[in-house]
Amino acid sequence: MTVQTRSFEGSPRRALFVCALGLAAAAFGLGLTPGSGTPARAAGETACTNPAALGTARVLPVDTSRGLEVGTKSYPQTLPLGPKEVVLTFDDGPIGKPTEQVLAALAAECVNATFFVVGEQAAAHPALLKRIAAAGHTIGHHSMTHPIMTGLGFEAGKSDIERGWRTVDRILTGREGDRPATPFFRFPGFAPTPELAAWLKAKGIGTFGADLWGTDWQKTTPDALLRQVLDRLDKRGGGILLLHDIHAHTAAMFPALLTELKARGYRVVHIVPGGAVS
Protein backbone atom coordinates (compact mmCIF):
# COMPACT_ATOMS: atom_id res chain seq x y z
CA MET A 1 0.00 0.00 0.00
CA THR A 2 1.39 3.37 -1.02
CA VAL A 3 0.62 6.25 1.27
CA GLN A 4 1.94 9.73 1.60
CA THR A 5 3.62 10.87 4.79
CA ARG A 6 3.60 14.52 5.78
CA SER A 7 4.15 16.51 8.94
CA PHE A 8 1.05 18.38 10.16
CA GLU A 9 1.08 22.11 10.76
CA GLY A 10 -1.73 23.77 12.67
CA SER A 11 -4.21 22.42 15.18
CA PRO A 12 -7.95 21.05 16.34
CA ARG A 13 -6.98 22.60 -14.10
CA ARG A 14 -8.86 22.00 -15.20
CA ALA A 15 -10.07 18.47 -15.80
CA LEU A 16 -13.31 16.81 -16.77
CA PHE A 17 -15.79 18.53 -14.52
CA VAL A 18 -18.21 16.67 -12.32
CA CYS A 19 -21.64 17.73 -11.14
CA ALA A 20 -22.60 14.40 -9.58
CA LEU A 21 -20.83 11.07 -9.45
CA GLY A 22 -24.10 9.25 -8.73
CA LEU A 23 -24.88 6.47 -6.33
CA ALA A 24 -23.01 3.99 -8.54
CA ALA A 25 -19.70 5.54 -7.55
CA ALA A 26 -20.69 5.48 -3.90
CA ALA A 27 -21.16 1.71 -4.17
CA PHE A 28 -17.52 1.14 -5.16
CA GLY A 29 -8.38 1.32 -2.92
CA LEU A 30 -5.55 2.58 -1.74
CA GLY A 31 -2.22 1.33 -3.06
CA LEU A 32 -2.21 4.09 -5.66
CA THR A 33 0.68 6.44 -6.19
CA PRO A 34 0.18 10.21 -5.95
CA GLY A 35 -1.58 11.51 -9.01
CA SER A 36 -3.09 8.18 -9.98
CA GLY A 37 -6.76 7.34 -9.90
CA THR A 38 -9.66 7.64 -12.26
CA PRO A 39 -10.21 10.83 -14.26
CA ALA A 40 -13.24 12.62 -12.94
CA ARG A 41 -16.01 10.95 -14.82
CA ALA A 42 -17.75 7.80 -13.69
CA ALA A 43 -20.88 5.83 -14.45
CA GLY A 44 -24.00 7.74 -13.51
CA GLU A 45 -22.45 11.20 -13.33
CA THR A 46 -23.53 14.28 -15.25
CA ALA A 47 -21.16 16.55 -17.12
CA CYS A 48 -20.74 19.96 -15.56
CA THR A 49 -22.35 22.77 -17.52
CA ASN A 50 -20.29 25.52 -15.87
CA PRO A 51 -17.09 25.97 -17.91
CA ALA A 52 -15.56 28.14 -15.19
CA ALA A 53 -16.16 25.62 -12.40
CA LEU A 54 -13.45 24.25 -10.15
CA GLY A 55 -14.59 20.69 -10.87
CA THR A 56 -13.51 17.37 -9.42
CA ALA A 57 -10.09 16.58 -10.89
CA ARG A 58 -10.08 12.84 -10.24
CA VAL A 59 -11.68 10.00 -8.33
CA LEU A 60 -9.52 8.05 -5.89
CA PRO A 61 -10.83 4.56 -5.00
CA VAL A 62 -9.79 3.64 -1.46
CA ASP A 63 -9.43 -0.01 -0.50
CA THR A 64 -10.21 -0.58 3.17
CA SER A 65 -10.47 -4.37 3.04
CA ARG A 66 -7.39 -4.81 5.23
CA GLY A 67 -8.13 -1.81 7.39
CA LEU A 68 -6.85 1.70 6.84
CA GLU A 69 -5.78 4.63 8.99
CA VAL A 70 -5.03 7.91 7.20
CA GLY A 71 -4.75 11.58 8.08
CA THR A 72 -1.60 12.99 9.63
CA LYS A 73 -3.46 14.65 12.47
CA SER A 74 -3.81 11.19 13.98
CA TYR A 75 -1.65 8.79 11.95
CA PRO A 76 1.81 8.68 10.35
CA GLN A 77 0.40 8.55 6.81
CA THR A 78 -2.27 10.04 4.61
CA LEU A 79 -3.89 9.32 1.25
CA PRO A 80 -1.68 9.21 -1.87
CA LEU A 81 -2.28 12.77 -2.97
CA GLY A 82 -0.16 14.86 -5.27
CA PRO A 83 0.88 18.46 -4.71
CA LYS A 84 -2.06 20.82 -4.30
CA GLU A 85 -4.60 18.00 -4.20
CA VAL A 86 -7.38 18.37 -1.65
CA VAL A 87 -10.00 15.95 -0.33
CA LEU A 88 -12.98 17.87 1.02
CA THR A 89 -14.64 16.28 4.06
CA PHE A 90 -17.45 17.41 6.33
CA ASP A 91 -18.41 16.13 9.79
CA ASP A 92 -21.44 16.12 12.08
CA GLY A 93 -24.34 16.69 9.67
CA PRO A 94 -26.65 16.68 7.99
CA ILE A 95 -28.53 19.63 9.43
CA GLY A 96 -30.91 21.94 7.58
CA LYS A 97 -29.81 25.20 6.03
CA PRO A 98 -26.01 25.01 6.53
CA THR A 99 -25.79 21.59 4.87
CA GLU A 100 -28.09 22.76 2.09
CA GLN A 101 -25.84 25.78 1.48
CA VAL A 102 -22.76 23.56 1.34
CA LEU A 103 -24.49 21.27 -1.17
CA ALA A 104 -25.44 24.26 -3.32
CA ALA A 105 -21.85 25.52 -3.37
CA LEU A 106 -20.52 22.07 -4.30
CA ALA A 107 -23.06 21.78 -7.11
CA ALA A 108 -22.27 25.25 -8.45
CA GLU A 109 -18.58 24.35 -8.71
CA CYS A 110 -19.18 20.75 -9.87
CA VAL A 111 -17.23 19.36 -6.92
CA ASN A 112 -17.70 16.19 -4.86
CA ALA A 113 -17.00 15.80 -1.16
CA THR A 114 -17.22 13.21 1.60
CA PHE A 115 -19.70 13.65 4.45
CA PHE A 116 -19.04 11.79 7.71
CA VAL A 117 -22.56 11.83 9.08
CA VAL A 118 -23.92 11.32 12.58
CA GLY A 119 -26.70 8.73 12.81
CA GLU A 120 -28.96 10.91 14.94
CA GLN A 121 -28.65 13.74 12.45
CA ALA A 122 -29.36 11.40 9.56
CA ALA A 123 -32.47 10.10 11.31
CA ALA A 124 -33.64 13.67 11.91
CA HIS A 125 -32.98 14.74 8.30
CA PRO A 126 -33.43 11.64 6.11
CA ALA A 127 -34.44 13.58 2.99
CA LEU A 128 -31.32 15.73 3.25
CA LEU A 129 -29.14 12.65 3.66
CA LYS A 130 -30.66 11.22 0.49
CA ARG A 131 -29.95 14.49 -1.33
CA ILE A 132 -26.28 14.29 -0.38
CA ALA A 133 -26.02 10.75 -1.70
CA ALA A 134 -28.04 11.49 -4.84
CA ALA A 135 -25.63 14.32 -5.70
CA GLY A 136 -22.83 11.77 -5.84
CA HIS A 137 -21.07 12.66 -2.62
CA THR A 138 -19.54 9.89 -0.52
CA ILE A 139 -21.33 9.11 2.74
CA GLY A 140 -18.98 8.10 5.55
CA HIS A 141 -19.86 7.43 9.18
CA HIS A 142 -19.28 9.39 12.38
CA SER A 143 -21.12 7.28 15.01
CA MET A 144 -24.72 7.46 16.18
CA THR A 145 -24.56 10.08 18.95
CA HIS A 146 -21.07 11.60 18.53
CA PRO A 147 -19.60 10.46 21.87
CA ILE A 148 -15.92 10.67 22.68
CA MET A 149 -15.08 6.99 22.49
CA THR A 150 -12.24 7.16 25.00
CA GLY A 151 -14.88 7.83 27.64
CA LEU A 152 -16.85 4.69 26.79
CA GLY A 153 -16.19 1.01 27.23
CA PHE A 154 -15.58 -1.14 24.17
CA GLU A 155 -19.10 -2.55 23.91
CA ALA A 156 -20.76 0.85 24.31
CA GLY A 157 -18.49 2.41 21.71
CA LYS A 158 -18.97 -0.48 19.30
CA SER A 159 -22.73 -0.25 19.69
CA ASP A 160 -22.78 3.49 19.00
CA ILE A 161 -20.68 3.09 15.86
CA GLU A 162 -22.81 0.21 14.58
CA ARG A 163 -26.08 2.01 15.26
CA GLY A 164 -24.77 4.97 13.30
CA TRP A 165 -24.01 3.08 10.12
CA ARG A 166 -27.11 0.91 10.39
CA THR A 167 -29.27 4.03 10.64
CA VAL A 168 -27.63 5.62 7.61
CA ASP A 169 -27.75 2.46 5.50
CA ARG A 170 -31.38 1.85 6.38
CA ILE A 171 -32.28 5.35 5.15
CA LEU A 172 -30.24 5.13 1.96
CA THR A 173 -30.66 1.50 0.94
CA GLY A 174 -33.50 0.07 3.02
CA ARG A 175 -31.04 -2.50 4.35
CA GLU A 176 -28.55 -2.75 7.19
CA GLY A 177 -25.76 -5.18 7.92
CA ASP A 178 -22.73 -6.02 10.02
CA ARG A 179 -20.55 -3.82 7.80
CA PRO A 180 -21.52 -0.43 6.38
CA ALA A 181 -22.24 -0.02 2.68
CA THR A 182 -19.49 2.61 2.63
CA PRO A 183 -16.71 1.40 4.95
CA PHE A 184 -15.39 4.85 5.87
CA PHE A 185 -15.40 5.99 9.52
CA ARG A 186 -14.08 8.98 11.44
CA PHE A 187 -13.85 8.96 15.23
CA PRO A 188 -15.61 11.87 16.94
CA GLY A 189 -12.99 14.24 18.24
CA PHE A 190 -10.28 12.15 16.52
CA ALA A 191 -10.32 10.05 19.69
CA PRO A 192 -9.99 6.33 18.94
CA THR A 193 -9.36 3.56 21.41
CA PRO A 194 -6.97 0.71 20.55
CA GLU A 195 -9.77 -1.84 20.91
CA LEU A 196 -12.19 -0.01 18.62
CA ALA A 197 -9.45 0.70 16.09
CA ALA A 198 -8.58 -3.01 15.96
CA TRP A 199 -12.25 -3.94 15.62
CA LEU A 200 -12.75 -1.55 12.70
CA LYS A 201 -9.63 -2.86 10.98
CA ALA A 202 -10.80 -6.46 11.38
CA LYS A 203 -14.10 -5.52 9.72
CA GLY A 204 -12.36 -3.87 6.79
CA ILE A 205 -13.52 -0.38 7.72
CA GLY A 206 -11.16 2.50 7.02
CA THR A 207 -10.51 5.12 9.69
CA PHE A 208 -10.07 8.67 8.43
CA GLY A 209 -8.42 11.46 10.32
CA ALA A 210 -7.47 14.71 8.58
CA ASP A 211 -4.34 16.52 7.51
CA LEU A 212 -5.71 19.96 8.30
CA TRP A 213 -8.94 21.67 9.24
CA GLY A 214 -10.70 24.92 9.77
CA THR A 215 -11.30 25.53 13.46
CA ASP A 216 -14.94 26.18 12.69
CA TRP A 217 -16.31 24.72 15.94
CA GLN A 218 -15.11 27.90 17.65
CA LYS A 219 -16.74 31.30 17.32
CA THR A 220 -15.45 32.95 14.16
CA THR A 221 -16.50 34.83 11.04
CA PRO A 222 -16.62 33.55 7.46
CA ASP A 223 -13.74 35.84 6.45
CA ALA A 224 -11.54 34.80 9.37
CA LEU A 225 -12.28 31.13 8.77
CA LEU A 226 -11.45 31.48 5.06
CA ARG A 227 -8.10 33.09 5.84
CA GLN A 228 -7.30 30.38 8.36
CA VAL A 229 -8.13 27.51 6.02
CA LEU A 230 -6.23 28.99 3.08
CA ASP A 231 -3.19 29.70 5.25
CA ARG A 232 -3.12 26.10 6.46
CA LEU A 233 -3.67 24.74 2.97
CA ASP A 234 -0.89 26.84 1.51
CA LYS A 235 1.52 25.84 4.28
CA ARG A 236 0.79 22.15 3.83
CA GLY A 237 0.22 22.12 0.09
CA GLY A 238 -3.03 20.15 0.19
CA GLY A 239 -4.36 17.08 1.98
CA ILE A 240 -7.52 15.84 3.65
CA LEU A 241 -9.41 18.94 4.78
CA LEU A 242 -11.98 18.78 7.58
CA LEU A 243 -14.86 21.23 7.92
CA HIS A 244 -18.26 20.97 9.64
CA ASP A 245 -21.42 21.43 7.59
CA ILE A 246 -23.47 22.20 10.71
CA HIS A 247 -22.13 25.74 11.18
CA ALA A 248 -23.57 28.82 9.49
CA HIS A 249 -20.17 30.53 9.26
CA THR A 250 -18.69 27.48 7.52
CA ALA A 251 -21.52 27.37 5.00
CA ALA A 252 -21.20 31.11 4.37
CA MET A 253 -17.43 30.82 3.86
CA PHE A 254 -17.47 27.74 1.64
CA PRO A 255 -18.30 29.25 -1.79
CA ALA A 256 -15.37 31.66 -1.43
CA LEU A 257 -13.11 28.76 -0.45
CA LEU A 258 -13.96 26.90 -3.66
CA THR A 259 -13.27 30.05 -5.67
CA GLU A 260 -9.89 30.44 -3.97
CA LEU A 261 -8.99 26.79 -4.50
CA LYS A 262 -9.37 27.27 -8.24
CA ALA A 263 -7.53 30.59 -8.26
CA ARG A 264 -4.59 29.07 -6.35
CA GLY A 265 -4.32 25.98 -8.53
CA TYR A 266 -5.66 23.37 -6.13
CA ARG A 267 -7.31 20.23 -7.48
CA VAL A 268 -10.17 18.43 -5.71
CA VAL A 269 -9.95 14.64 -5.35
CA HIS A 270 -13.10 12.66 -4.61
CA ILE A 271 -12.62 9.49 -2.55
CA VAL A 272 -14.87 6.47 -3.05
CA PRO A 273 -14.73 3.00 -1.51
CA GLY A 274 -13.52 -0.19 -3.11
CA GLY A 275 -12.11 -1.18 -6.47
CA ALA A 276 -11.85 0.59 -9.76
CA VAL A 277 -14.34 3.20 -10.85
CA SER A 278 -15.18 2.92 -14.53
pLDDT tens figures, 98-123: 999 999 999 999 999 999 999 999 99
- On whether residue 175 sits in a domain, the answer given is yes
Q: Report the CATH number at residue 251.
A: 3.20.20.370
pLDDT tens figures, 148-159: 999 999 999 999
- On whether residue 30 sits in a domain, the answer given is yes
* Global confidence as pTM: 0.85
Whether 185 and 205 have beta carbons less than 8 Å apart is answered as yes
Q: What pLDDT does residue 204 have?
A: 96
- On whether residue 89 sits in a domain, the answer given is yes
Q: What pLDDT does residue 49 have?
A: 82
Q: What is the DSSP string of 97-165?
A: HHHHHHHHHHHHTT---EEEE-HHHHHH-HHHHHHHHHTT-EEEE--SS---GGGS-HHHHHHHHHHHH
Assess whether the previous peptide bond of 126 is cis (omega < 30° from 0): no
Which has more pLDDT, 17 or 40? 40
- On whether residue 140 sits in a domain, the answer given is yes
pLDDT confidence band for 9 (50 / 70 / 90): very low
pLDDT confidence band for 266 (50 / 70 / 90): very high
- On whether residue 2 sits in a domain, the answer given is no
Q: What pLDDT does residue 53 have?
A: 96
The answer to whether residue 276 scores a pLDDT higher than 50 is no
Q: What pLDDT does residue 48 have?
A: 77
- Segments in the chain forming alpha helices (H): 22-26, 96-108, 119-124, 126-134, 154-173, 194-202, 222-236, 248-263
Whether 99 and 245 have beta carbons less than 8 Å apart is answered as yes
Question: Domain containing 252: what range?
Answer: 18-273
- On whether residue 10 sits in a domain, the answer given is no
Structural domains of the chain, count = 1
- On whether residue 11 sits in a domain, the answer given is no
Cβ neighbours, 10 Å, residue 265: 9
Whether 61 and 272 have beta carbons less than 8 Å apart is answered as yes
pLDDT tens figures, 27-84: 333 334 444 454 444 333 456 788 899 999 999 999 999 999 999 999 999 999 999 9
Closest CA to 233 of 262, 216, 247, 213: 213
- On whether residue 9 sits in a domain, the answer given is no
